[in-house]
Chains A and B, each alone.
Chain A
Amino acid sequence: MTEVLDRPSTTQPPGFGTLFSRLVAGGLVAGALAGVFSLLVTERAIAPALDLEEARTAGEAGHDHGEELFSRGEQLVGGFLGTVLAGVVLAVVFAAVYGAVRHRLPGRTDFARVTVLAAVGFAVLALLPALKLPASPPAVGDPDTVGTRTAIYGATLLCGVVAAVLVGVLVQALRARGVGVPGTTVAAVVASAVALALVLVLVPDNPDVIAADVPAAVVWDFRLASLGQLAVLWAGIGLAGGWFADRATRGPRVR
């Protein structure tokens, strides 16, 4: 390893298996952090919604929540474990995509590149759907429209991924033509803003009307908490995954 002293560490291509295991370990850490955030913050925002749900004396047909299948305590565990699982699965997908686009990402180290891709992941897979179809706590969504809302959610994610790929292609094309960093950055930001506007305008809106008995603060607090949890998740994938991957590819520290 010492023969590479003068070379930037990231010019030696690491094996995919190394990157994969490091990034998935990062996903596990990220999921656990987001799961703790969920228990400390998001569940507090869910609680008033559940109180509301219980207060509605008319039982909802079809989709029962709460005590019959799992107690609230078990659902808290499920919320934590589900978040951890989401972190691991996202990291598995992230690792494959990272391996495919690593040589095109800006940054000299794997830490820098992983954090850049994680920021894109947060923007496309968390922030964009949060803007288009903001998260709702239990008792807010209309059971009859869940299919429509799921389709909107999926379409938003798909549009976001396509837009991210197109912006990436644009950046590569501009770079290949010798356009400098400022010009490329401006073009990428403008293209992203146009793509965001198109998704917000063209993809159908949430058909639900929030019931009059739901206080705005209940919905707002939950949406902030949900976005915060997703931010922790993606920051964890970027920072923990990036750190682990970087340590694996950097080689021993030499002074």
Chain B
Amino acid sequence: MTSVPHAHPATAASRIAVPAWAWALALLGLFGLYLIAQDNGAVLASMGGTAHEFFHDARHSLGMPCH
């Protein structure tokens, strides 16, 4: 494998395009994570508490505030 000196300028990588769906999915994922972890039933009145209790240990162990 030959390696040419000075073949890597400071900006070695070219820019890649991030499609809109990736950002949308990221936001959706964060919102979902918020729902199951943080929400105490404010958004999902009935489901919130159930999901909260099921994922309760993850919420604590990942450092999110809880009671």
CA of A152 to CA of B38, assembled, Å: 13
A102 and B16 contacting across the interface, CB-CB below 8 Å:
yes
How would residues 131 to 167 of chain A score, 1 for a CB under 8 Å from any chain B CB and 0 otherwise?
0011111100111001001101100000000000000
A83 and B58 contacting across the interface, CB-CB below 8 Å:
yes
Interface residues on A, range: 35 or more
Q: A residues within 8 Å of B by Cβ?
A: 5-8, 10-11, 13-16, 19-20, 38, 42-43, 46, 60, 63, 65, 69-70, 74-76, 78-83, 85-86, 88-89, 92-93, 95-97, 99-100, 102-103, 105, 108, 113, 126, 129-130, 133-138, 141-143, 146, 149-150, 152-153, 175, 222, 225-227, 229-230, 233, 254-255
* B contact residues around A136 at 8 Å (CB): 60, 65-66
A95 and B22 contacting across the interface, CB-CB below 8 Å:
yes
Q: Which of B10, B22, B32, B63 contacts A99 (CB 8 A)?
A: B22
CA of A68 to CA of B7, assembled, Å: 64
A16 and B18 contacting across the interface, CB-CB below 8 Å:
yes
How would residues 44 to 66 of chain B score, 1 for a CB under 8 Å from any chain A CB and 0 otherwise?
00000110011111111111111
